[in-house]
C-alpha cells in the first residue's frame, strides 16, 4: 500500500517531470524581447523622427517661454526697484568716470614734467654749445672691453668669403660649369 499512496513523480512514460521556474517577470521580459525583434526598426525610426522634431521645435519653445516670462515680469514691474537700479548704475558710472579723470590728470602731469625736463636739457645743451663745450652726444658710448679679449676675438674670426671672390667671374667653380648634353642620333633601325 505504501507504493500506491505515494504520488507519482514520474511522467506517463516513466520519465521524471521537468521542473520549470515560474518567474512572473520572465514572461514579461520575453514578451518585450519579441516586440523589439518584431518592431525594432520601426521603433528606431520613430525615435530618430522624434529627436529631429524636438531639435527643430526647441528654439521656438524657448522663445515662447522667454516671451511668457517677459510678460509676467512686465506685469510685476516695480518702478521703485527700477529707479533704484538706475541710480545705482549712474553712481557706478560716475565713480568710474572720476577714476578715469584722475588717471588722465596724473598722466597729463607726468607728461608736463617730462616736457619740462626735455626743455631744460635742451637749454643746458644750447648754453654748453654757446660756451664752446659742444653739443652733448645723443648716443651713449658702450663700455670698452679689455683690449686683449677684443683682439683675440677678431683674430679667431675668419672671413666668410675671400676678398678676391666674384660670383660673376665663374673661374674657380669647376663643378658649376655648364656642358651641353651628348648628341646622339635617333635609335631606330
Query: Phi/psi zone of residue 170: left (φ > 0), alpha (ψ -120 to 50 degrees), beta?
Result: left
Tell me whether residue 100 is in a domain. Answer: no
How many domains would you assign to the chain? 1
Asked if residue 35 is part of any domain, the answer here is yes
> What's 54's DSSP letter?
H
Query: Can you give the pLDDT at residue 177?
Result: 63
Does any domain span residue 72?
yes
CA 174-179-180 angle, to 5 degrees, is 175
In a domain, 39, yes or no: yes
Q: Are 57 and 64 in contact (CB under 8 A)?
A: no
Is there a domain that residue 38 lies in? yes
Q: Is residue 163 part of a domain?
A: no
125: number of Cβ within 10 Å: 15
**What's the pLDDT score for residue 42?**
93
Q: Tell me the pLDDT of the chain (189 aa) as tens digits.
A: 444 455 555 555 666 677 766 777 777 888 888 999 999 999 999 999 999 999 999 999 999 999 999 888 888 778 888 899 999 999 999 999 999 999 999 999 999 999 999 999 999 888 888 888 776 655 555 665 555 555 556 567 777 777 777 777 765 555 666 777 777 776 665
- The CA distance from 77 to 72, in Å, is 9
* Ordered DSSP codes for 17-37: PPP----HHHHHHHHHHHHHH
Whole-angstrom distance, CA of residue 185 vs CA of residue 189 = 11
What range does the domain containing 36 cover? 24-77
Radius of gyration of the chain (CA): 51
Residue 86 placed within a domain: no
Cα gap 49→57, rounded to integer Å: 12
Amino acid at each position: 500500500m505504501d507504493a500506491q499512496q505515494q504520488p507519482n513523480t514520474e511522467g506517463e512514460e516513466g520519465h521524471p517531470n521537468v521542473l520549470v521556474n515560474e518567474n512572473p517577470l520572465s514572461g514579461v521580459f520575453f514578451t518585450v524581447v519579441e516586440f523589439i525583434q518584431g518592431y525594432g526598426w520601426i521603433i528606431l525610426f520613430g525615435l530618430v523622427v522624434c529627436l529631429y522634431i524636438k531639435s527643430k521645435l526647441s528654439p521656438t519653445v524657448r522663445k515662447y517661454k522667454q516671451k511668457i516670462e517677459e510678460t509676467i515680469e512686465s506685469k510685476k514691474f516695480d518702478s521703485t526697484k527700477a529707479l533704484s537700479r538706475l541710480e545705482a548704475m549712474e553712481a557706478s558710472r560716475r565713480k568710474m568716470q572720476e577714476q578715469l579723470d584722475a588717471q588722465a590728470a596724473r598722466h597729463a602731469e607726468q607728461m608736463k614734467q617730462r616736457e619740462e625736463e626735455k626743455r631744460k636739457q635742451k637749454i643746458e645743451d644750447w648754453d654748453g654749445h654757446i660756451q664752446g663745450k659742444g653739443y652733448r652726444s645723443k648716443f651713449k658710448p658702450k663700455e670698452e672691453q679689455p683690449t686683449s679679449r677684443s683682439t683675440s676675438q677678431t683674430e679667431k674670426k675668419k672671413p666668410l668669403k675671400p676678398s678676391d671672390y666674384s660670383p660673376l667671374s665663374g673661374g674657380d667653380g669647376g663643378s658649376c660649369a655648364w656642358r651641353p648634353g651628348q648628341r646622339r642620333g635617333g635609335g631606330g633601325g
